[in-house]
Structure 1
Amino acid sequence: MVFNIKDSQKRSIKNDFPREVEKIENIWIPMSDGSKLSACIWLPVDAEKNPVPAILEYLPYRKNDFTAIRDSVRHPYFAGHGYASIRVDLRGSGDSDGILLDEYLKQEQDDALDVLTWIAEQPWCTGSIGMIGKSWGGFNGLQVAARKHSALKTIITLCSTDDRYADDVHYRGGNVLASDMLWWASTMFAYNARPQDPEVVGARWKENWRDRLENTPPFVEEWLRHQRRDEYWKHGSVCENYSDIQIPVFAVGGWQDGYTDAIFRLLENLPKESKGLIGPWAHEYPEVATPEPAIGFLQEALRWYDQWLKGIDTGILEEPKLTSWIQNSELPAVIYEERPGKWVADPSWPSPQVKGQAWWLSDGRLLNQTLQTAGEQVLVPSVQEHGFYSGVFCPFGQPGDLPADQRFENGKAVTFTSEPLMETVDLLGHPVFHAELSVDEEDALIAVRLMDKAPTGESTLISWGMLNLTHRDSHEHPEKLEPGKKYQIQVKLDALGQQIPKGHRLEVAVSPTYWPSAWPSPKPVNLTLYTGEETRIELPVRTPHPEDKNCGRFAPPETAPVMERQVIRKENRTREVIHDTIGGEWKLVDFSDEGERRLPMNGIQYGSKNKNTWTIKENDPLSAHVKCDWELTMSRDHWQIKLETFSEMWSDDKKFYLVNTMIAYEGENQVFSKTWETEIDRDCV
């Protein structure tokens, strides 16, 4: 995960703001229990004489080093336009007190309420506050909004979710998300072990560091203990009671991001003033995101905050409920610098412009008319290596993130192909796959891919979804399958905004495996599809709206100047699929050297390397194995820290096995080493 701003990014650098800005590097915010959180504040210099509203970003990613570069382009921009912009490190992260025991705990929300109270009481603040955040900061923005603090008037949430079980890095469709669960847990395992800065907190940094090393658990253990959608996942999932959020929400995402589905649910359920924006982007802020077109998102954010924090009519109330980018068809590529397309406007969601169009599956064909005959049986066997070319769950815009040509995959699944389309269609929303099926084991899953097949044969993945079939009726109360029994199921695929040109074909591929996205079922599964009225895919076909021609007139991107930094080591990323044809072993090795940088503002130098390996053998689902290794370094003058972590996950037919090792160095000396080993029963996965 790289937090960096490329100098080549197409944007206008602004430093002639309406208000002169001062930066308070380190300030302590007291919590109700006596602990302190570390904050950085950008303020108009005359704010105490002329108080301003505030914007809060609340993260565990270390304001003084890891996010300092990205913070520098955003927070001064807000301050220069008449806001106090505040960046706070969560309890247990950066220079803040304590340790971080898990994601999105009640303590995190309680601390946020204390932060909001503190901000509202400052002489430079009018008492009106907004929040902004991407990913973790987008999640907790929604969660804090649901706590109804009187000073919090609005939030902007980017790349976030309202449902921690169904739509995050742990489980998808009731399956263990093997591509990400251990990887993200290993990421936080390493991140959480970084110490406070001695120049900020003094000598007590070492005692706190030892506490973090010894007592911060590997998060994956708790995540894997909750394989159903129980109270653990309901906590922090605002979908449990949308009515708790009573303030306007601006929900933003991109088609390459892993969290875009949530935007549609939020627009359907949150206060009517809420709006949505979806571009072609990866997991990043739209003013610096790839692929192009990037937009003047900071200007849009100011319009939003001016409306709700300053009471200025900026016209946003008259704008569409959802503004989204319909992407043109492109041949498959593992990275795109640009995705041509068009902006469209939907005044409400669900949109009257979007209607379901059914396509039925039969004999390798995808038909857009009701079948004349039914009852054909299509056998779909398990191919354990199906899925290696699926790309990553949540792209950050790095080379190699996106799915390769799906012709690599289609021979390992059963694929249904349409005739060439007679006219161009636009798709916006969720495709939904319906099927009548049976399986020959009591545990099974189904993975469904939707593709745009070019006349020249290339196959581009445009949406996908999967379902643990024991979760067919409930993620909270799964039930084993009865072999041979027919079931009717549906799989909601990821939302898309995609044009399919005349002459292209649609493809739907079905499989009971999808490694490394889904942890395999304990035994190889033969899945049988029964063609007929029930076995079909419904596509969200959109017709134009009169407002389409007036929407998406965004200004070019603007940011504040990027802070000075020195590149010590450049970034590098490799992603390789390795096939041992003799041993029948398949391996995906994803290596990311995230580079090393030095920040002259405080002298901190930091860098990281991450290697992830997913392995499986043909015909052997119990051979699935994941290994995630991290190396993090931090230094300043005579202070050097290095962290090494090694995380592994595998299973048999009854249990999951986890091993996490942490090794810490101060200078040349190893000062800490510990291994956590855990066995956890499989529960209908």
Structure 2
Amino acid sequence: MFPSKRLAASLLLFTAAAHAELACTPVAPGEIFIGNLANPGKINPHDGTCWLNNLRITAWDGTQLTANVFLPRRTSAGQKFPAVVMVSSWAVTDLFEYLGQSYRLAKDGYVVLSYTTRGFWLSGGQIEVAGPEDVKDASSALDYLALQTPTDMGKVAMSGISYGSGISLLALAHDPRVKTVAALSTWGSLPDELYGAETPNRTWADVLALAGQVTGRPDPKVNEYVTALKDPNTSAAKIAEILAWARIRSPLTYVPQINARNAPVFLSKNFQDDLFTPNSTLKMFQQLSGPKKLLINQGIHAQAELPGALLDVDNVVYDQAHRWFDYWLKGIDNGIVAEPKVTMQLKFSQAREHFDSWPTASVIDRFYNVAPRGDIRWDLGCFCWLGAHGTLQTHANTKSAMDAIDNTFDTTATSGVLPILSTTGESLGLPVLTWLPSVLRGQGVRYEGPTLVAPLKLRGIPRINLRLKPSQGQAQAVAYLYDVDALGTGTLITHGARTLHFGTPGQVIDFPVDFVATAYDVPAGHRIAVVIDTRDHLVSHPSHGRLDMRFVFDATKQSTLILPSLR
């Protein structure tokens, strides 16, 4: 007796093989053709493309996934085309997400299949968060492409934004039929995104959990894990379980398989992406050994790509991805692989800089030693009051002191007053500003550098290395890097956070905080400053009670600020 699932799958494949290839019909005489979307199944009389909607892909386990296909102009029977499979984003349906880009690719001679991932909208099953089920679904989409469309299966790419990008990368590692991938607003390590530096991303976790509930049917583990990550009382064993679950959903885990194929990878990220920060993607990019390209743009999650996906318009990210497909699927020598591998857009600018790879020799680490503010005191050396803030200095710190703060209140230092909207505003030229003297001394501490005599061009991931003495087993430091003018007004450059959940009270530990990667020019006449406090709306706090933290300084071990910058 055959296993029921295997028998069902065999019957489904036999039925699918018996189906005729998808076909479109010409516009009848006198019939009004408005456009592909208004006339599905009709051949566009202007460019020969055709759009077929309300399709169903039968996945490996019988689950039905909704899909649509754009077909290019066909000039002869049996003609085959390269193809791109577009995988839908979290909570988004294939019905509209990629229509603009799909049409543009179809006009250029590509078959484009878009599908809605399992568990969302009218696709069956439950949301598995880029789990093994989703990876096998991607292979089922390729089966459908082979059976139902005029595709040259030796010339197939996958692509997607956000959720769809991660599934595309995972498919590249598992299915040899995928020749290349364009992964936009993607992630490298899911543990880093969910719980990086032991700091849960509260705002975006809530957004994704709510969107999943409204538009789909999440695996019960999804909400269980989101709740557990935000709960300061969750055990270390439970956290380990969640991170193991996340690790198998991480493209970074499968880089060796991608490298073994020497598979070409196109990546795009946005600097203000607080959901999937560029740090994790930079780490993955460094580990990829095959042909690769990385664009880092200004904008929040998916902001730089969405206009190109939805609309048939020029778009930096998709225009470059299109060139990538042309080279790897059509063999067009358009120069894209000879160009610099990394492109960064500067903050508050349309300018872009290009680097041969990453890391790059043109970016070096500049160091400041952090000196404590100490107590408020009168100093005869400068005939002035000291202790309002500490300093960032090029010479070694020789002072022994502790800068103490607690979590009673938040401070005026913030990643943005309005969650998500503030960072969106940054990409539109509206900086997040803070007057640094307003930072409460009891709940925050600031360290200010000297006035710059030349511009400081930050490129990459800054880091501050602190030494922490917590009062309890929990602690949290949220760090903000500022460009400060002569009046003390700080423009937020980037931010970062680190949390301690299971520490030893009173034990001094090293406590490094990585900032989110940035590309920003600090002008001459301004100075760099760092503010440390204990709260930000983006992240979950590790305790419901009072926490006292002391940052420890002495001459035996320097606390440092590391700023990657152009030579």
Report if TM-score (shorter chain) is over 0.5: yes
What amino acid is aligned across from residue 184 of structure 1 in structure 2? L
Aligned partners of 2:86 and 2:98 also within 8 Å: no
Aligned partners of 2:119 and 2:128 also within 8 Å: no
What amino acid is aligned across from residue 462 of structure 2 in structure 1? P
Q: State the distance in 2 between where 1:270 and 1:394 align.
A: 31
Aligned partners of 1:442 and 1:482 also within 8 Å: yes
Aligned to 1:237: 250
Aligned partners of 2:370 and 2:558 also within 8 Å: no
Q: State the distance in 2 between where 1:51 and 1:22 align.
A: 15
What amino acid is aligned across from residue 223 of structure 1 in structure 2? V
Is 1:255 matched with 2:271? Answer: yes
Q: State the distance in 1 between where 2:354 and 2:363 align.
A: 12
Say which of 433, 441, 445 aligns to 1:414.
Answer: 445
Q: State the distance in 1 between where 2:412 and 2:203 align.
A: 10
Q: State the distance in 2 between where 1:424 and 1:279 align.
A: 21
Say which of 529, 532, 541 aligns to 1:507.
Answer: 529
Give unmatched runs, 5+ long, in structure 2: 1-43, 229-237, 309-313, 374-388
The superposition leaves residues 30-80 of structure 1 with CA deviations (integer Å, 9 ceiling, x where unpaired) of: 2232232221000113176421111111126677xx564543321100111
Aligned to 1:536: 560
Q: State the distance in 2 between where 1:301 and 1:353 align.
A: 26
Aligned partners of 2:90 and 2:212 also within 8 Å: no
Higher helix share: 2
Is 1:161 matched with 2:177? Answer: no
Q: State the distance in 2 between where 1:58 and 1:140 align.
A: 7
Aligned to 1:34: 62
Give the Å deviation of 1:251.
0.7
SS in 1 for 2:267: strand
Is 1:20 matched with 2:48? Answer: yes
Aligned to 1:55: 84
Say which of 344, 349, 353 aligns to 2:353.
Answer: 344
Give the Å deviation of 1:253.
1.6
The superposition leaves residues 592-647 of structure 1 with CA deviations (integer Å, 9 ceiling, x where unpaired) of: xxxxxxxxxxxxxxxxxxxxxxxxxxxxxxxxxxxxxxxxxxxxxxxxxxxxxxxx
Give the Å deviation of 1:97.
2.5
Give the Å deviation of 1:484.
1.6
Distance 1:159 1:445, change over 3 A: same
Distance 1:373 1:289, change over 3 A: farther
What amino acid is aligned across from residue 178 of structure 1 in structure 2? R
Give the Å deviation of 1:502.
0.3
Aligned to 1:297: 317
Aligned partners of 2:298 and 2:304 also within 8 Å: no
Aligned to 1:669: none
Say which of 332, 336, 356 aligns to 1:316.
Answer: 336
Say which of 233, 239, 242 aligns to 1:227.
Answer: 239
Q: State the distance in 1 between where 2:462 and 2:60 align.
A: 47
What amino acid is aligned across from residue 421 of structure 1 in structure 2? L
Q: State the distance in 2 between where 1:139 and 1:394 align.
A: 22
Give the Å deviation of 1:321.
1.7
Aligned partners of 2:120 and 2:212 also within 8 Å: no
Aligned partners of 1:453 and 1:507 also within 8 Å: yes
Q: State the distance in 2 between where 1:318 and 1:410 align.
A: 48
- Structure of greater Rg: 2
Give the Å deviation of 1:89.
1.1
Moved over 6 A (4+): 400-403
Q: State the distance in 1 between where 2:46 and 2:264 align.
A: 26
Give unmatched runs, 5+ long, in structure 1: 1-15, 193-211, 328-338, 471-479, 544-685
Aligned partners of 1:452 and 1:506 also within 8 Å: yes
Aligned to 1:620: none
Give the Å deviation of 1:296.
3.6
1:362-373 matches, within 5 Å, as 362=371, 363=373, 364-373=389-398
Q: State the distance in 2 between where 1:524 and 1:371 align.
A: 33
Aligned to 2:135: 109
Equivalenced residues, count:
480
Percentage identity across paired residues of the two chains: 22
The superposition leaves residues 487-534 of structure 1 with CA deviations (integer Å, 9 ceiling, x where unpaired) of: 112111110000000011111011233345232424311111122443
Q: State the distance in 2 between where 1:188 and 1:288 align.
A: 19
Q: State the distance in 2 between where 1:60 and 1:251 align.
A: 16
Q: State the distance in 1 between where 2:163 and 2:540 align.
A: 23
What's the RMSD between the two structures over aligned residues? Answer: 2.9
Aligned partners of 1:51 and 1:126 also within 8 Å: yes
Q: State the distance in 1 between where 2:282 and 2:143 align.
A: 31
Aligned partners of 2:160 and 2:168 also within 8 Å: yes
Aligned partners of 2:88 and 2:94 also within 8 Å: no
What amino acid is aligned across from residue 318 of structure 1 in structure 2? A
Aligned to 2:294: 276
Is 1:77 matched with 2:86? Answer: no
Q: State the distance in 2 between where 1:90 and 1:518 align.
A: 29
Q: State the distance in 2 between where 1:442 and 1:25 align.
A: 56
Give the Å deviation of 1:218.
7.6
Is 1:383 matched with 2:408? Answer: yes
Distance 1:312 1:153, change over 3 A: same
TM-score (norm 2): 0.78
Say which of 283, 291, 295 aligns to 1:265.
Answer: 283
What amino acid is aligned across from residue 417 of structure 1 in structure 2? E
Aligned to 2:233: none
The superposition leaves residues 172-198 of structure 1 with CA deviations (integer Å, 9 ceiling, x where unpaired) of: 421222222223211211111xxxxxx
Give the Å deviation of 1:538.
0.3
Give the Å deviation of 1:535.
1.2
The answer to which of 84-93 and 452-461 deviates more is: 452-461
Aligned to 1:197: none
Q: State the distance in 1 between where 2:413 and 2:531 align.
A: 15
Give the Å deviation of 1:283.
2.4
Q: State the distance in 1 between where 2:202 and 2:56 align.
A: 39
